[in-house]
A and B are shown apart, each in its own frame.
Chain A
Amino acid sequence: MPRTDAVAPLGCPPLRALSFDSLGLIKVIENSTETGHPQVVARWGEPSSQRSIVSVSLSSDEDCEVLAVARRNLNVEILNPSSGALCSEVNVRSLNGNPPKNSEGMESAALIGVHLFRKEASGLRSVLTCTDSGIASLQRCSIQAVDSEGSNDDSSAVSWAVCKMGSISCMKVDGSEKYAAFGGDGAEVTLYDIQSQSSIWEAKPPRRDNNGLMSRPYVTASTFLGNDYRKLVIGTGHHQVRLYDIGARRRPMMAFDFLESPIKAVEADTDGNTVFVGTGNGDLASFDMRSGKLLGSFKGRVSGSIRSIAVHPILPVIAACGLDRFLRVFHKNTRQLLTRIFLKQPLVATVFDTKYPAALERPSGKAILGVDPEKDGQRSLVQMEGTEEEEEEDEPFENGAEDLLLTLGKAHKRKKSKKRRSADASKRKKGNPSTLDSVFEGVHERNQKGLMKECDEPEPVTKLRRTRKLKRKV
């Protein structure tokens, strides 16, 4: 009998993710087993094209998580990501009194981004939204007051224009939540101070190429490296990835091309050096931003444009979703497909519920992960990785998530043929084959000379290790 089923992916560690689609549905995907495949456990919302989701933001504090969902009808809903209960609702249309207009003066402006800030001392939270016409607005709202009808009128709203020409297509707020980068079609990336609503830095277009031509600015995605607002990575519609150092200069420190279709998603890894890049053609790859080198691409029969990449703060996994209606979970370092799930609709965004393994069983979560998930998971991962000495070798996961994922490796090992295994063994020079399998081969130790430091004292990027060739390019 011929094989009638596809080779199953490895399976992923226990995690919980939320996917957001263009029909306005939110689906909760959960996997509670060690090496299982996630299932859709809940679906929130009713399908409607008007309520199509455009952007989401998850704000996670020590004690709680809150989710902001921006919809096409200029509504921002603030939800509880564990139950889906609506906490508050903000309508951007009602913020300014008159509906925001887009660049042609039409009233059909659309929201492109939303960011939910951490809880302030007063218990209120701020929401930053941006429309494609370039109107950013900051509004404060209370989460506890559950009034399902309309927006909170008592809250104050500030709005300002972030784009002189063109249209805005991406917005990103840095880790310290003081600055926001805006960029778009015809608009170079600009950094704004959120407190004063003033522009503090604007990128300069790259120099003319050797034909004397300039391409028009087209920023499609942006992200900050680590917790440092000075290191900004953007993706352009001209399939270029650029690294800017805000402290150093206005032209990119580094720029390189990636394939031939526009870059649609750029997301920084928690280690502060690596970025994940997704394109409109369904290509996903990771780059080391110190050298601009391609670390490798993620294979998994991605057939549609990638709209969103989410990096798990604790586990070494990323999730990518897009127009091919699949949510895929990859291993960050081996770049192997761990699982994929068909979610029926073109997906717009995905986020990981960072509290999930802790919520499952809190004591074991500590033991398994080696970190206290209640503390800053990002930082501890980096710190622990920074202590590693070996390079280019089979090494256990620094963050302790290794035990959790070891079972994955074993599952994989079983599937591999003996021949391949022996080849792997010969390849390894001093690795410990009994503890780790080749699933975790090539777990790079990238943090020794890492960019990422404490966000209080950022190191200028001018010290970046760059090759001679790249210098010439810049």
Chain B
Amino acid sequence: MPPPRKAPRTIENTREADETIAQPDDGELHAEDATDEFSAHFNHEITPQLLITSSRWCSTITIKFIAELLKVLPNAHYYKRGSYEIKQIVKYAKNRNFTAIIIVHDNRKDPNGMLIICLPEGPTAHFKLSSLVLSKKIKGHGKPTSHLPELILNNFTTRIGHRVGRMMASLFPQQPNFRGRRVVTFHNQRDFIFFRHHRYIFEDKEASAKLKKGASKESDKKGDKPRKVPIISRLQECGPRFTLKLLSLQNGTFDTKFGEYEWVHKADMDTSRRRFFM
């Protein structure tokens, strides 16, 4: 009898102990969730309305990326950046009852930053954006339908993570249309948030095998007893695909001059590779 196999040691399961990890039975956590900036969204009081814009003089790749974001995010509206300042845009969007602003920054024709400003009273998150793959580059990608997507938020464990997770959730309407079988994933791993957009289908194994073969033999009916058909699920990626890393979380709306930060990434935080903040 061989000894039971040990679980492999990974960076994640040997991460530094963190006292800020949100506990599900914490009354204060629920009390804060009931009163924070996103509570109106989670109480079904408001539906998200998003304003998406780019940095000034953005590249065509950014425009393509925004076009794909518009397909992913329901109720999102693209506005040309023009030469407006972010504070002016915040004021404009507040007056028109938008619930969030997303600004995609680029550098040398390469989208490299994303700013999510929750309205009307913040918070503002600044992410580094990397590993962007547009739908067209994904092999066998599907075209998303306009059904409201489901949302998966993975591993947002600490209080900062919890807050960022709630912020991501507040970008999407709360009633997913399961008929659409569309799912948007924010997967956090080692403080990197991976964004994926998929379509799924459940079908019986044989039907899918037949489809693959292209054969159309319908003669194998074995009696009238309904038998247990093995069901398999298939997944198709719709895109885009990108990775976010939190750089700062600001209290209130965008204000780099007089703003206060709830969390800022600083150099002295990177002294251990087993320390994560989300």
Task: State the Cβ distance, A385 to closest chain B Cβ, in Å.
Answer: 31
* Interface members, chain B 69-127 (any A CB < 8 Å): none
Task: State the Cβ distance, A217 to closest chain B Cβ, in Å.
Answer: 13
Count of residues in A whose CB is under 8 Å from the partner chain: 31
**B26–A344 CB distance below 8 A:** yes
B260 contacts chain A at the CB level, 8 A cutoff: yes
CA distance A2 to B12 in the complex (A): 12
CA distance A243 to B265 in the complex (A): 31
**A262–B258 CB distance below 8 A:** yes
Task: State the Cβ distance, A108 to closest chain B Cβ, in Å.
Answer: 13
Count of residues in B whose CB is under 8 Å from the partner chain: 32
* Interface members, chain A 261-297 (any B CB < 8 Å): 261-262, 264, 280-282
Report the stretch among B16-24, B58-66, B132-140, B183-191 that lies at the interface: B16-24
List chain B residues, Cβ under 8 A from A237.
Answer: 257-258
Report the stretch among A11-19, A298-306, A427-435, A442-450 that lies at the interface: A298-306
B224 contacts chain A at the CB level, 8 A cutoff: no
Partner of A47, one of B17, B31, B159: B31
Partner of B261, one of A1, A4, A25, A304: A304
How many pairs of A and B residues are in contact by the CB < 8 Å rule? 91
**B260–A305 CB distance below 8 A:** yes
B32 contacts chain A at the CB level, 8 A cutoff: yes
A325 contacts chain B at the CB level, 8 A cutoff: yes
Partner of B262, one of A2, A47, A304, A344: A304
Tell me if A's interface is mostly helix, strand, loop or mixed: loop
* Contact of A281 with B28 at beta-carbon distance under 8 Å, contacts A6-B272, A305-B251, A325-B20 already known: no
* Contact of A281 with B32 at beta-carbon distance under 8 Å, contacts A5-B17, A342-B20 already known: no
**A305–B261 CB distance below 8 A:** yes
Task: State the Cβ distance, A159 to closest chain B Cβ, in Å.
Answer: 29
CA distance A304 to B20 in the complex (A): 14
B210 contacts chain A at the CB level, 8 A cutoff: no
* Contact of A264 with B269 at beta-carbon distance under 8 Å, contacts A4-B17, A342-B19 already known: no
Smallest CB-CB A-B distances: 9 pairs? A47-B31, A305-B260, A49-B35, A280-B260, A342-B19, A323-B262, A5-B17, A4-B14, A304-B262
Other 19 A-B pairs with CB < 8 A, given A23-B35, A301-B266: A1-B14, A2-B274, A3-B16, A4-B15, A6-B16, A47-B28, A237-B257, A261-B259, A262-B257, A262-B259, A262-B260, A280-B261, A282-B261, A282-B264, A299-B268, A305-B251, A323-B251, A323-B260, A325-B159
> Can you identify 22 A-B contacts, CB atoms within 8 angstroms?
A2-B14, A3-B272, A5-B16, A25-B28, A47-B27, A47-B31, A49-B35, A237-B258, A262-B257, A262-B258, A281-B261, A282-B264, A303-B263, A305-B251, A305-B260, A305-B262, A323-B261, A325-B159, A342-B20, A345-B32, A346-B251, A346-B262
